[in-house]
Amino acid sequence: MKSIKSTNKISKMMVSLAWLAFLIMLVLGFDRYLEKQTNPNDRPEFVYAADGSAEVTLLQNRQGHYIAEGKINDQWALFVLDTGATNISIPGNVAKKMHLTAGYPERTRTANGDITVYRVMLDSVKLGSIELKNIAAHINPNMNGKGVLLGMSFLKHLEMLQKDQKLTLRLGAMASCANCL
């Protein structure tokens, strides 16, 4: 009689653990699904066209933005493409983690008004197979979050084609951007 009760307890515990494991897997799967909705371009593929040009195709996220992971000075960063931003704008907390040294201060106008930012020259900025060197940027101590605005100091060197919910960025094979100032 005692062994039947202990067997029942063990089987109930096993069923409970199975349900717990199922719920954990469900939560993790849903979390990954939501992450893909926010950033469908985790790490863009390395693509080179037949003519040797570097190309990256990004998908829009649910909010209509183009977000992708890339690298600044060989360190991973989350880019938010922003054609309305003159320069690459790096939040202060992200710049600190990347050990970027703030340069001279300058005033800039944002949608939220005039602010002071700090100039910085980036050794390299990489998005998929596209890499540019010596790119102007600024550190924005007023900006929160982990998203780096990938502005026109980077994007102006690329051909851009937007169709449907895809944005294709292309750096021509003959493009030389050793000093992209």
Region 28-44: mean pLDDT is: 59
Answer whether residue 181 is part of any domain: no
| pLDDT, mean over the chain | 84
**SS3 assignment, position 50:** coil
In the predicted structure, residue 177 carries a pLDDT above the cut 90: no
More confident residue, 7 or 101: 101
**CATH at 103:** 2.40.70.10
- What is the total count of domains within the chain? 2
In the predicted structure, residue 21 carries a pLDDT above the cut 60: yes
Q: Is 108 found in the same domain as 86?
A: yes
Domain that holds residue 93: 47-171
Q: Is 141 found in the same domain as 120?
A: yes
Q: Is 96 found in the same domain as 13?
A: no
What values do phi and psi take at 49, rounded to 5? -75, 170
The per-residue pLDDT for 17 is 78
Q: Which ranges of the chain would DSSP assign to H, the alpha helix?
A: 2-38, 92-97, 152-155
Answer whether residue 177 is part of any domain: no
Residue % of the chain over a pLDDT of 90: 55
In the predicted structure, residue 136 carries a pLDDT above the cut 80: yes
Of the given ranges (72-76, 134-138, 176-180), which has the lowest mean pLDDT? Answer: 176-180
Answer whether residue 16 is part of any domain: yes
Task: Give me the sheet containing 47-48, strands edge to edge.
Answer: 47-48, 54-59, 166-171, 159-163
Q: Is 64 found in the same domain as 23?
A: no
Tokens standing for 68?
Answer: 């992708």
